[in-house]
Amino acid sequence: MTLTGHQFIAGREAAPHGHLFHAFNPATGEQLEPVFGDATHAEADEALQAAESVFDTLRLATPETRAALLDAIADEITALGDALLERAHAETALPMARLTGERGRAIGQCKLFAALIREGSWADPRVDHALPDRQPLPKPDVRRVMMPIGPVVIFGASNFPFAIGVVGTDTVCALAAGCPVVVKGHPAHPGTCEMLTRAVLAALHKVGLPAGCFSLLHGKGNDIGITLVKHPLTQAVGFTGSMRGGRALMDVAAARPHPIPVYAEMGSVNPVFVLPGALKERASKVAEAYIGSVTMGVGQFCTNPAVVLGIQGEDLKQFTTDAAALAAKVAPQTMLHSGICAAYDAGTAVWQTVDGIELVAQSEAPAAANASQAACRIFTTTIDVLESNPELRREVFGPCSIITRCATLEDMVRYANGLEGQLTATIHGTEDDLRDFAPLVRALEKKVGRLIFNGFPTGIEVCPSMHHGGPYPAASHSFFTSIGTASIYRFVRPISYQGFPEAALPELLQDANPRGAMRIVDGELKR
């Protein structure tokens, strides 16, 4: 496939113009062709006008047609072959094995949502039959189901070019729900974005849906993203990225004459509590898994375990010694782009200026020159220092973490109660620990979206039970997830039909229930 650098606006390609930019290979600094350009306000308007014009076509398409679209997208991604992996590798420096697995996740997500909408229960259909003879007033026939909200704007993430990008969960679940999508491509991997866009457009053509269901706009800066969020036809926004970026979009959306939701996933420090039973039984094994989690993907995950807390003593000392030895052996690795690497070095440099924090381990091997490489860095401190220095409680994106010494359970509970919202928290321990430290569990339940026992938060399972979100500022709304099948609820709303004849109702609300979806009928859950 020859890349063009074009904008893709409802099937129309627009050559790059205005402010131009290139992608760069973060491992070598090499400038990659072709040139890309910032989309204009007029192109944003064209994309959203096109999306609105085809909204009824997409939302009224049968579930089978939309499911076939998702299956076709999966097939078209597969058909891109190694060329897709090679371009993504050149633009992100992510290892080929990692990209191969992530491509499989993106394909799997397409098939997961295809199965979801074919079955239909996700739409939460509810039927309450009329009771015309009820006294003192008759009861009307009322039926409720979820319906799509309209054009959705998606911002692709830098660290998951496939699974949280052009064909990531946000796009796939929006299309599954029946919402046209306009993607703001990530400027760090625009060539990958173009290849995946061509796959989506080919799939739309294959199943006979209009090209206006999907557009891709490029932009190096913030202007085009803000334009898309402000546009009156945009009905919701999906975003994965930094706190600063997500909050900026939330503020723009809230200031519109008609505010819209921004479903922003913005990261966290993901604290890990290693309780006495775990330290006594398996400190070395937990340390090994911990360093593996910290360094996975060069620490470029929103679920990176940035803080570990344990009760001070010989067992925690052994855990720290083991973790430090393992961290020293981790070679520096190339990050997604030079800006992320510079921010990582700056963030860990700030940590080292704090009185009472110690750098106990760093990758022994030197970082390669001009390769945007990050060394693993492990620090230690006390709970008092951690709590009294706000800079230690902010996410630093990369392979770093702080092991923190606590004196008592009360120290841990106080820290947990003082946390801002987090995506995850992790407890390593025994069943006795869970009983003895029950107040800690109760405190964490109020602060996180996912609570993990004897595992680590990196490596998210894509499944119906997954909740990837959390109280603000981990996410903009704690009810919604950006991963798993429940993510579809961000782009739908409930509608009730009262007194409608059977033939005029959506299929899921008809008494025959031809798809056999689970429904609440007169208060009873049944098929």
Residue closest to 485 by CA, chosen among 507, 510, 468:
468
Instruction: Give pLDDT, residue 362.
Output: 97
- Looking at the structure of the chain, the number of domains it has is 3
**471 in a structural domain:** no
Query: Is 302 annotated as catalytic?
Result: yes
Tens-digit pLDDT profile for residues 11-44: 999 999 989 999 999 999 999 999 999 999 999 9
Query: Are residues 292 and 152 both part of a single domain?
Result: no
Set 265, 341, 395, 400: catalytic member: 265
In this structure, how many other beta carbons lie within 10 angstroms of the beta carbon of residue 418?
Answer: 11
Query: Is 265 annotated as catalytic?
Result: yes
**358 in a structural domain:** yes
- Residue type for 398, please? G
DSSP element (H, E) containing 78: helix 63-92
388 by DSSP, 3-state: which? helix
Average pLDDT over residues 274-289: 97
Average pLDDT over residues 123-138: 97
Backbone angles phi, psi at 376, to 5 degrees: -70, 135
Query: Are residues 321 and 244 both part of a single domain?
Result: no
Q: Determine the structural domain holding residue 60 and report its residue range.
A: 38-266+479-490
**21 in a structural domain:** no
Residue 370's pLDDT band, with cuts at 50, 70 and 90, is confident
Full-model pTM: 0.96
Distance of CA 311 to the CA centre of its chain: 33
d(CA 7, CA 54): 19
Set 173, 179, 213, 302: catalytic member: 302
**33 in a structural domain:** no
**391 in a structural domain:** yes
Tens-digit pLDDT profile for residues 431-466: 999 999 999 999 999 999 999 999 999 999 999 999
Residue 369's pLDDT band, with cuts at 50, 70 and 90, is confident
In this structure, how many other beta carbons lie within 10 angstroms of the beta carbon of residue 502?
Answer: 11
Query: Are residues 448 and 522 both part of a single domain?
Result: no
Distance in angstroms between the alpha carbons of the first and the last residue of the chain = 47
Q: Give the CATH number for residue 363.
A: 3.40.309.10
Residue 498's pLDDT band, with cuts at 50, 70 and 90, is very high
